[in-house]
């Protein structure tokens, strides 16, 4: 096991030099103030009580894990990546313990665990900070299987309860492995097969025979099925509120079934020949009939072999059920998200394949065992080399999205994200070209519309920006982001009335939308238009945004200062302006420092900010005391 740990650390050590990526890492870590403010009771309560947010799902233990990392290491990407590596090591250890319980030989177990550890399909789960939930959920599910294996040996209640507890905690990390109770039933068939097959098939329904034993096994799993049902309901609720569930009108059931069969064969292909791996695989809304039929035939044959293997090769049966059941919730029969498949979904199923190999090799003849060791040992070496070759693609957002665009076709998401990276570095023309290419593939892709509008807004071309931001409202009428962007566009065009209108619409949709509250408070407090100014309402909006703010935020403090100054409460205005200045000095933003100092000087002479003209700020003039 020490050798396995050394190999894993050596293989994945380069991730310590990797950056966060612009694909979910901003949502889960570096742009989420609930996370980067660290491990606090307020944040923990938020993680457990917020079923959904505008950004993500309900996975409180995953949130807590990211919070703890931020609390200990700040926003150092290498430290967050290293935590993923440690969890991957833990999962390898747990898998080894399970194999030992099933009396697999040490040599075959070691090679199986190594193959699980270094397989290129694991790269996404380990090298992507946002995939922490996959590692956590898998760790707890493996723990649950470990305790259940102990329970099958001892039938002690504490092992059963620990198994149930670990499974319940896994649902708090991610709900994709809700079908684990079926794997437990497969374990029953494997460990108790001598009892079950003794009655097969003559005594199938006889009293005290097969039916009673099956009933006992199912009753044992009832608490697990209850937890699975609760987890599924929470996941469906979260997806529904976020608008991620596709209707049957948009994606018919026949298309979902076709995608499910194609996805199964793609997973099998990537497991054996892991080439052209990508962080995102676009959904194929027009799958070829021949490919779908071939996938159907392959899956049916594999299922038949799985069922027939129960009596002769029970380890193969258990491993097959482990794989198929783990993949069932993510095959797209309930379509959530735009991916057709994802490498991270194979993380836990690969443990089932490792189990299948290790236990089957142990029960084989000596010659067959040697063939197992040679083939899978060589396979582990090859897979490690492929993983090492693919790892640099995860270095940053640019390399990751370039890789995705290179190995997939019509990948509108990767193209749009690549355009966003160019925008971040000020390469407006390249960003616009890539974003247009993304919209050519998917004209209603909201993120591409958003990014394209930003390229025009950056150049001050407000009419073009407004055109694309308005299309976001057409695609998703209830999006607060589009209203805020339209408000910013109108403000830059000098139309403050329209800006206020959109901000109020955003707040009507989401009363807790802090950015809209801050911007509306700022306009109401500092507008030159007397018809728009409303100091008291500005104070209400600003204080509401302050209540919602987790960390000290410059914009929030500045809005509170402007609002209080407009109402004549200059003591409070000076207090908030001082806090804004301290934040600006702490982050080292010289432009914000200059603005904060000017505002503080204005408030100290008992004047609201609207009395200080823009040209005075540009020339560095300081108001004189009366």
State the pLDDT at residue 393: 95
What does the pLDDT look like over 575-620, one tens digit per residue? Answer: 999 999 999 898 888 888 998 888 888 888 888 887 554 434 443 4
Residue 24 within a domain: yes
Does 435 share its domain with 526?
no
State the pLDDT at residue 211: 64
Contacts of 95 (CB under 8 A, 6+ apart): 112, 113, 116, 142, 351, 354, 355
State the pLDDT at residue 82: 95
Does 325 share its domain with 364?
yes
Residue 438 within a domain: yes
State the pLDDT at residue 311: 67
Split at pLDDT 50, 70, 90, the class of 68 is very high
Does 124 share its domain with 184?
yes
* Mean pLDDT value across residues 353-360: 86
Split at pLDDT 50, 70, 90, the class of 53 is low
In this structure, what token pair is assigned to residue 28? 């889960």
Chain-wide mean pLDDT for the chain?
Answer: 85
Contacts of 466 (CB under 8 A, 6+ apart): 453, 486, 489, 490, 493
Residue 268 within a domain: yes
The answer, yes or no, to whether residue 308 has pLDDT greater than 80, is no
* Mean pLDDT value across residues 487-499: 90
Residue 404 within a domain: no
Does 16 share its domain with 38?
yes
State the pLDDT at residue 626: 30
* Mean pLDDT value across residues 69-88: 93
* Mean pLDDT value across residues 479-489: 88
State the pLDDT at residue 408: 92
Question: Which residue, chain included where needed, has tokens 């925008």?
Answer: 423
End position of a domain, from candidates 511, 542, 575: 511
What does the pLDDT look like over 443-460, one tens digit per residue? Answer: 989 899 999 999 999 888
State the pLDDT at residue 119: 94
The answer, yes or no, to whether residue 419 has pLDDT greater than 90, is yes
Chain centroid to CA 214? 38
Parent domain of 603: 515-626
User: Residue 241 half-sphere exposure, CB side, CA atoms within 13 Å?
Assistant: 16
What does the pLDDT look like over 160-206, one tens digit per residue? Answer: 999 999 999 999 998 888 889 999 988 887 776 545 444 444 444 44
What does the pLDDT look like over 31-46, one tens digit per residue? Answer: 888 888 888 888 898 8
Does 277 share its domain with 325?
yes
Residue 244 within a domain: yes
Contact 448, 435 (CB under 8 A): yes
Does 302 share its domain with 437?
no
The answer, yes or no, to whether residue 378 has pLDDT greater than 80, is yes
State the pLDDT at residue 617: 41
Does 205 share its domain with 102?
yes
Residue 403 within a domain: no
Cα dist. 444→413, 437, 441, 449 in Å?
12, 12, 9, 8
Does 329 share its domain with 423?
no
pTM of this structure: 0.88
Under DSSP, the state recorded for 624 is P
Domain count, the chain: 3
State the pLDDT at residue 115: 92
Alpha-carbon distance of 583 to 577, in angstroms, equals: 10
State the pLDDT at residue 152: 83
The answer, yes or no, to whether residue 54 has pLDDT greater than 60, is no
* Mean pLDDT value across residues 420-426: 91
Alpha-carbon distance of 27 to 56, in angstroms, equals: 7
End position of a domain, from candidates 336, 361, 394: 394
Does 350 share its domain with 472?
no
The answer, yes or no, to whether residue 441 has pLDDT greater than 90, is yes
State the pLDDT at residue 625: 31
CATH number (domain holding residue 468) = 1.25.40.10
Alpha-carbon distance of 166 to 250, in angstroms, equals: 37
The answer to which of 67-76, 149-158, 239-248, 458-467 has the lowest mean pLDDT is 239-248
Does 519 share its domain with 587?
yes
* Mean pLDDT value across residues 476-480: 74
Residue 400 within a domain: no
Residue 622 within a domain: yes
- Pick from 423, 426, 478, 425: nearest CA to 453: 423
Does 466 share its domain with 539?
no
End position of a domain, from candidates 485, 511, 537: 511
Does 386 share its domain with 427?
no
The residue that leads in pLDDT, 75 or 611, is 75
Alpha-carbon distance of 64 to 48, in angstroms, equals: 9
3-state secondary structure of 118: helix
């Amino acid at each position: 096991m020490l050798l396995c740990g050394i190999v894993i650390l050596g293989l994945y050590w380069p991730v310590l030099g990797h950056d966060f990526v612009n694909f979910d890492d901003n949502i889960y870590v570096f742009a989420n103030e609930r996370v980067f403010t660290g491990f606090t009771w307020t944040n923990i309560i938020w993680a457990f009580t917020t079923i959904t947010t505008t950004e993500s799902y309900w996975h409180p233990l995953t949130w807590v894990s990211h919070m703890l990392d931020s609390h200990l290491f700040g926003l150092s990407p290498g430290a967050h990546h290293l935590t993923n590596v440690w969890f991957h090591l833990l999962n390898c250890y747990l898998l080894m313990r399970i194999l030992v319980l099933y009396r697999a030989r040490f040599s075959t177990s070691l090679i199986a665990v190594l193959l699980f550890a270094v397989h290129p399909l694991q790269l996404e789960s380990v090298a992507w900070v946002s995939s922490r939930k996959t590692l956590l959920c898998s760790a707890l599910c493996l723990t649950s299987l470990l305790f259940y294996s102990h329970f099958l040996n001892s039938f002690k209640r504490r092992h059963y309860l620990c198994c149930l507890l670990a499974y319940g905690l896994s649902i708090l990390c991610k709900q994709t492995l809700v079908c684990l109770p079926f794997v437990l039933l497969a374990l029953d068939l494997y460990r108790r097969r001598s009892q079950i097959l003794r009655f097969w098939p003559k005594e199938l329904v006889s009293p005290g025979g097969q039916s009673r034993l099956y009933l006992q096994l199912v009753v044992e799993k009832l608490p697990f099925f209850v937890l699975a049902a609760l987890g599924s309901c929470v996941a469906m609720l979260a997806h529904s509120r976020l608008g991620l569930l596709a209707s049957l009108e948009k994606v018919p059931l026949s298309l979902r079934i076709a995608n499910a069969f194609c996805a199964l064969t793609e997973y099998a292909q990537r497991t054996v020949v892991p080439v052209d791996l990508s962080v995102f695989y676009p959904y194929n809304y027009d799958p070829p009939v021949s490919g779908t039929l071939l996938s159907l035939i392959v899956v049916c044959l594999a299922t038949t072999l799985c069922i027939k293997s129960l009596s002769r090769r029970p380890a193969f049966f258990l491993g097959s059920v482990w794989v198929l059941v783990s993949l069932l919730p993510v095959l797209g029969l309930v379509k959530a998200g735009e991916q057709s498949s994802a490498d991270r979904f194979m993380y836990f199923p690969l443990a089932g394949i490792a189990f299948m190999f290790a236990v089957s090799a142990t029960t084989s003849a000596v010659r067959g065992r040697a063939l197992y060791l040679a083939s899978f040992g060589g396979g582990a070496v090859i897979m490690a080399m492929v993983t090492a070759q693919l790892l640099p693609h995860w270095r940053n957002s640019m390399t990751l999205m370039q890789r995705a665009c290179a190995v997939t076709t019509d990948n509108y998401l990767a193209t749009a994200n690549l355009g966003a990276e160019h925008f971040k570095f000020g390469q407006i023309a390249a960003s616009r070209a890539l974003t247009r290419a993304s919209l050519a593939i998917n004209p209603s892709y909201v993120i591409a519309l958003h990014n394209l509008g930003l390229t025009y807004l950056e150049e001050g071309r407000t009419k073009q920006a407004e055109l694309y931001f308005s299309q976001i409202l057409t695609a998703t009428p209830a999006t607060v982001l589009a209203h805020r962007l339209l408000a910013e566009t109108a403000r830059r065009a000098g139309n403050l009335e329209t800006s206020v209108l959109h901000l109020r619409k955003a707040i009507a949709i989401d009363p807790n939308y802090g950015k809209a509250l801050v911007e509306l408070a700022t306009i109401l407090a500092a507008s030159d238009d007397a018809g728009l100014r409303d100091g008291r309402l500005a104070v209400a909006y600003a204080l509401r945004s302050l209540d919602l703010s987790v960390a000290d935020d410059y914009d929030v403090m500045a809005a509170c200062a402007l609002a209080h100054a407009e109402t004549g409460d200059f003591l409070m205005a000076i207090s908030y302006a001082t806090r804004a200045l301290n934040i600006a000095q702490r982050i080292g933003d010289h432009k914000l420092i200059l603005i904060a100092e000017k505002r503080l000087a204005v408030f100290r002479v008992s004047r609201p900010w609207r009395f200080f003209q823009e040209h005075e700020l540009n020339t560095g003039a300081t108001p004189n005391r009366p």
